Amino acid sequence: MSKLVSASTRRGEDRRGSDRGGAGDSGSGADAQEGAVGQFITFYLDGQIFALPVTEVLEIHVPERIYGVPLAPPDVAGVINLRGRIVTVIDMRHRLQMPTREGTLRQLTCVTVRHLDEMYGLLVDKLGDVLEVRERRIEPVSTTVNRVWRQFAAGIVPLDKELLIVLRTDSLLRFGKGG
């Protein structure tokens, strides 16, 4: 059985970016004129913070067991059975060409998303928070950002002590040439 945390539950725990360099809603009336607000689920890989739009996340869970798939692409960690549905699990560290994890895949978090009518679990090291970010704070991806990360990034958000990389699900889950 998987431990489940729904996106709506995570929203209830939202710190609204209060310790994240003002990425969240300050509550002033002027904010309405500063652009739309998007909610993002954050997660960590090897200490780096990444995010996906909340609207793209179906659920978050800790898989009980990941089954290997012979001859699968190297980014595929395996598959899980999620309430009777087979879900392909992508090792995000491998996908983003980051150092491999020490030890086992146990107790890692799976962020489940839908792409082209299929469900995918994105295996991450640690779940972060749900942040609200104003559109104007999302900057274009700099050429100084890792080349591999750039191809999957929608933008970056400077926070107090770190740089948040907002990822695009469609490009993350495009396999084959250039993917």
In the chain, the percentage of residues whose pLDDT exceeds 90 is 45
CA 144, 146, 150, 155 dihedral sign is negative
Q: Would you say residue 124 has pLDDT above 90?
A: yes
Q: Which CATH number fits domain 3-26+35-171: 3.40.50.150, 3.40.50.170, 2.40.50.180, 3.10.20.30?
A: 2.40.50.180
Q: What is the CA radius of gyration of the chain?
A: 16
- What residues contact residue 25 under an 8 Å CB cut-off, 6+ apart? 16, 17, 31, 37, 132, 134
Q: What is the pLDDT of residue 45?
A: 94
Q: What residues does each domain of the chain span? A: 3-26+35-171
Nearest CA among 14, 105, 96 for reference residue 49: 96
Q: What is the pTM of this model?
A: 0.77
Residue 66: φ, ψ to 5°: -110, 125
Residue 23 pLDDT greater than 50, yes or no: no
Is 90 exceeded by the pLDDT of residue 123?
A: yes
Q: Which pLDDT value is given to residue 11?
A: 38
User: Is the pLDDT confidence value at 21 over 70?
Assistant: no
Average pLDDT (8-14) is 39
